[in-house]
């Protein structure tokens, strides 16, 4: 069985071997269900991109003016970033994101995402607004953070590769 070592990427031989093994097991499972009036549906929550390349990482150490606008460190994860902005620095924060990160992400007011049910369809937990900051940055095909927190692969962004989610139906 394929053992990830966090040195592989989506196009690595190890990943390809792993998918061949999964394919064999799914075929065997489907065969065992033949004539059982059962369908197998396989999907995922996101696509995945490799982010081990330096040109896919926006390191905060290179953006001190951006960091100065923050009231506390970023939270969330490197693809969906929660920003707590100093009240007196909101204009500077928004301007920095819209100019320096304009091709890297989309910026949203956290409250707007809550109102639009991005965090669920029902009444949100009262602690939610404290957890998601003032603004959310949804990254495209880049990640934002500190180098030691970046994995070889990431998901949850708005790149075409991540928005494409495979659906497999076996009847």
pLDDT per residue as tens digits for the range 25-58:
999 999 999 889 999 999 887 777 776 555 667 8
Q: Is the pLDDT of residue 131 over 90?
A: yes
pLDDT digits (tens, 9 = 90+) for 91-124: 999 999 999 999 889 999 999 999 999 999 999 9
Share of the chain above pLDDT 70, in %: 81
The two tokens of residue 168 are 């497999």
What are 98's strand-pairing partners?
Answer: none
Q: Is the pLDDT of residue 146 over 50?
A: yes
pTM for this prediction: 0.68
Element (H, E) at 163: helix 160-163
Fold of 50-160: Gyrase A; domain 2 (3.30.1360)
85: number of Cβ within 10 Å:
19
- Contact in structure between 168 and 112 (CB atoms under 8 Å): no
Q: Which residues neighbour 48 within 8 Å (Cβ) at sequence distance 6 or greater?
A: 10, 153, 154, 155, 161, 162
């Amino acid at each position: 069985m394929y053992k990830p070592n966090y040195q592989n990427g989506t196009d690595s031989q190890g990943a390809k071997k792993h998918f061949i093994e999964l394919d064999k097991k799914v075929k065997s499972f489907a065969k065992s269900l033949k004539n059982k009036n059962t369908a197998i549906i396989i999907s995922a929550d996101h696509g995945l991109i490799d982010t081990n390349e330096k040109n896919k990482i926006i390191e905060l150490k290179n953006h001190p003016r951006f960091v100065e606008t923050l009231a506390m460190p970023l939270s969330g994860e490197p693809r969906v970033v929660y920003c707590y902005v100093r009240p007196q620095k909101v204009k500077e924060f928004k301007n920095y994101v819209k100019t320096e990160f304009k091709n890297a992400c989309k910026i949203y007011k956290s409250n707007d995402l809550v109102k639009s049910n991005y965090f669920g369809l029902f009444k949100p937990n009262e602690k939610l607004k404290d957890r998601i900051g003032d603004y959310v940055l949804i990254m495209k095909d880049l990640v934002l953070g500190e180098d030691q927190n970046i994995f070889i692969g990431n998901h949850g962004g708005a790149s075409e590769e991540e928005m494409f989610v495979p659906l497999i139906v076996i009847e």
